[in-house]
Amino acid sequence: MLRLSLYIGFVFGLVLCGSGETLIRRPVHDGWRFRQVRGVNAYPAVVPGVVQLDLIANGLLEDPFFRMNERSAQWVDKEDWEYQTTFDVAPDLYARENVRLVFEGLDTYADVYLNSQKVVVANNMFRTWSVDCKRYLRPAGNALRIYFHSPVKIDLPKCLALDYAYPASNDQAANGGLLDRKVSVFARKAGYHYGWDWGPRLVTSGIWRPVMLEAWNGGRFEDVQVFARNVSAKSAEMAVMAELSVGRAAQGVVSVVDAVSGLTYAQKAVSLSAGANKASVGFNIKKPRLWWSNGLGEPHLYAFKVVLALDGQEADARTVRTGVRSLRLVRDKDPDGKGASFYFELNGHPVFMKGANYIPNDSFLPRVTEARYRNVVARARDANMNMLRVWGGGIYEDDRFYDLCDESGILIWQDFMFACSLYPADPAMLENIRQEAVQNVKRLRNHACLALWCGNNEMNDGYYGWGWKRQMEEKGVAGKVKAEYDAVFHQLLPQVVAEVDPGRPYRPSSPLSDFNPEGSDGKSGDMHFWQVWHAEKPFSMYEEVIPRFMSEYGFQSFPEFVTVKRYAPDEKDWDVQSDVMLAHQRHPRGNQLVRIYMAQNYREAKDFRSFLYMSQLLQADGIRIGQEAHRRAMPFCMGSLYWQHNDCWPVASWSSSDYHGRWKAQHYFTRKLYQEVLVSPYQNEGVLRVNVVSDRLAPIAGNLTVRLMTFAGKAVFERRTEVEVPANSSVCLFSESVETLLNGSPSNSVFVSAAFDAKDSVLGDSVYLLAPLKEIELPRAVIERQVSPIKGGFEITLKSGVFARGVYLSVDSRTDDFFSHNYFDLLPGKPMMVTVRTAMPAAEFARSLRVISMCDAVVGTKE
């Protein structure tokens, strides 16, 4: 209920600010009960919600995330379900001329009955459904019933009617008892519900977003768009486009007001006819406060209150929060005509996009609370990201997610909801998709964070590169399915964006090349690079394959032991090949690939717990190579979005923070690697080079210090140089033969420490090993610790006499403690201070705190 009240409060406080006496909006969320249609008994239900959550709450279903319970939940999606409630209509609402019943999300096939009248037939999870219901309502005892058809029973006949199959490799039909009948492509429903290589198969039904009654007299805004046409530091040319409906012809005035200061920007008289109308109002802002992405400046948001007055009386008002900024996707052709740039220019400045791919936060979407949305966006902001890619196999996210991204300066690459499959597209489905696209583009287009619309995820690559075209040709339907593809992604969706959000760029697919429609080559457009992982190529390939914009790449790791214990509490399950651990590893070769890469790069882990820890370091070390290589290659490469930011359940996956929000090693690494100033040592053809990369919009003068030290702390080489780093650039500021630097020392006995400082402040530093970690015999590190209480937790000071690789702090008994630093390298004799937020008593914390480094996790470390 807390999440619901926050959501409703947000709607009233922002969307309908100032309109309480005109437009009334009230939820219909009380008194719901549900039942299995084939059954008799009805049980209490929570709305918004889904069937599985209601079954769990009533003790009728075990938690599918625990151990292997997912298997016992597969019957749910084969059944029809019915939800019912009765409600009274308050006199003030009932007295209004117009009353509308609005369903912001029905999942997915649903018939809605109001007082025995069928008023809605829904067939798309992503759409809002509404009905003018005044004629059906009575003051008290209104019966509202929703019949949810099984998505499997609705779509299985469509699948069986074809003598070919639409590709959908991630649909875990067999886990759902459907053999190879992959029905997910027939439903406009979140694809990941049917399973993915990081997610369970939990196909939901239910009232997954709020149900509202809206009532008004006279007229109302149906939609309000606020956007900037021309933006500079001196002025911003703004426009408001409003869609209005009125019951009768009227003279009106549309005003635009600053909701904070009360300043009126503009007023315009409009003549309105009965029914639907459009009105536009232009105005200018002198010396606007611009919206900047995370790291470049303040993501300032204006609150524009747009007011409709009819015949001298206020009829409706909407408040739109948005940022004033210019943003464009720059696609300049190379002089040789064989490539083209791919970068985002914000307020006139090229910006390197540092971020990750984002999936839904839970398999059961209604339990994603306000706090979880805040946490997942804060994890991106605090890791110095400036972009998240909302991936096409999930959902068009909740409004609050985009609000938080607006506030945090996190740009959004927004996929339409299509991923890794081909989809049927007859005329009825095309119209369904068109309505879905129009609604969601309108809903999201006011957000300053929204940077790009993209038609789908990997479908172009799948058709030409994964064998789909050949499969369709063998069945004689290649022309048909390609025409369906083109109708959606090259005709319908670009038309919707051009008509509804013309200032935003559209890309048909990701990845996509401009000059090679049958693949992505990195010379133009974006790239998904998966030869590391799927093809078992070494991590060093990240330094060899550098595209214009890397929109996907990644490597798996396991969650921390404390997270694993929540879904696998029994010691007999503590083996990555146990049935429980395999149930929470959805990639068919996941464990094998992690083992292969670990054997190539590290020494053997001594036990299960050590393996989990080392898998996280392995992931972080591998992705670090890609992150640094991409940033060093700017301005040729101008984006690095790894797969993936988050998880929808506890699982071994490519995420950098797990389902419970715990940062993995990769997330701690990312925070450092995505700082505005990056110091990046690397080897190339026997030469050690150090690049300094700066996102700052002004040059920086400072000092670069490069040291070689033994693991015991003895200096082998040191050089300090005055340097200048140009604005928004990557520049090599150190280059020296490795052989010269070593001066006879073995490469596996030393480490490189590089740091860039300016005005006595270290802006960036890095530790780099000259030999593969597998060839290094790390010394036994005895890490001293000192724990001191501070407000809200403790301060921990760590120190070691020798180099300690990947120092990891944990508290076994809890999952909500957060360490300010973790998985870091501790240099000989140099103390490291870590803070932790926790409510644990001091004695319990000191007793529970565990500190290890890699030498404690591998077999055969010498004293």
Q: Which sequence positions are flagged as catalytic?
A: 458
Between CA 759 and CA 701 the distance in angstroms is: 9
Q: Which residues contact 431 (CB under 8 A, 6 or more apart)?
A: none
Helix, strand or coil for residue 152? Answer: helix
Residues 126 and 436: beta-carbon distance below 8 Å? yes
Neighbour order of strands in the sheet with 818-819? 783-790, 793-800, 832-837, 818-819
Question: Around Cβ 703, how many Cβ atoms within 10 Å?
Answer: 14
HSE, CB side, 13 Å, CA atoms: give it for residue 266: 18
329: helix, strand or coil:
strand
Where would I find the H helices in 734-857?
738-742, 842-848
Phi-psi region for residue 263, left (φ > 0), alpha (ψ -120 to 50) or beta?
Answer: beta
Q: How many helices (H) and strands (E) does the chain have?
A: 19, 46
Residue 493 tokens, joined: 């969706």
CB atoms within 10 A of CB 424: 15
Strand bridging mode 411-415 / 387-390 = parallel
d(CA 444, CA 397) in angstroms, rounded, equals 9
* Pair 205, 67: CB distance under 8 Å: no
Q: Using CA atoms in the order 180, 183, 184, 189, what is the torsion angle rounded to 10 degrees? A: -160
* Phi/psi-derived region of residue 262, left when phi > 0, alpha when psi is between -120 and 50, beta in every other case: left
Comparing CA positions, the residue from 245, 207, 6, 31 lying closest to residue 102 is: 207
Rounded-to-integer distance, Cα 245 and Cα 243, Å: 7
300/303 Cα distance (integer angstroms): 10
Residue 404: which residues within 8 A CB-CB, separation 6 or more?
373, 374, 377, 410
Count how many Cα atoms sit within 13 Å of the Cα of residue 604 in the half-sphere of its side chain: 4
Alpha helices in 586-650 (DSSP H): 590-601, 608-632
Cβ–Cβ under 8 Å, residues 250 and 311 = yes
**Secondary structure of 239-269 as H, E, C letters:** EEEEEEEECCCEEEEEEEEECCCCCEEEEEE
| End-to-end CA gap in the chain | 56
CA–CA separation, 532 and 627 (whole Å): 14
Q: What angle do CA 101, 104, 107 make, to 5 degrees?
A: 115
Collapsed DSSP state (helix, strand, coil) of residue 45: coil
Whether residue 564 contacts residue 580, with contact meaning beta carbons closer than 8 Å, is answered with: no
How many residues belong to the chain? Answer: 863
> Which residues are CB-contacts of 687 (< 8 A; sequence separation ≥ 6)?
735, 736, 737, 738
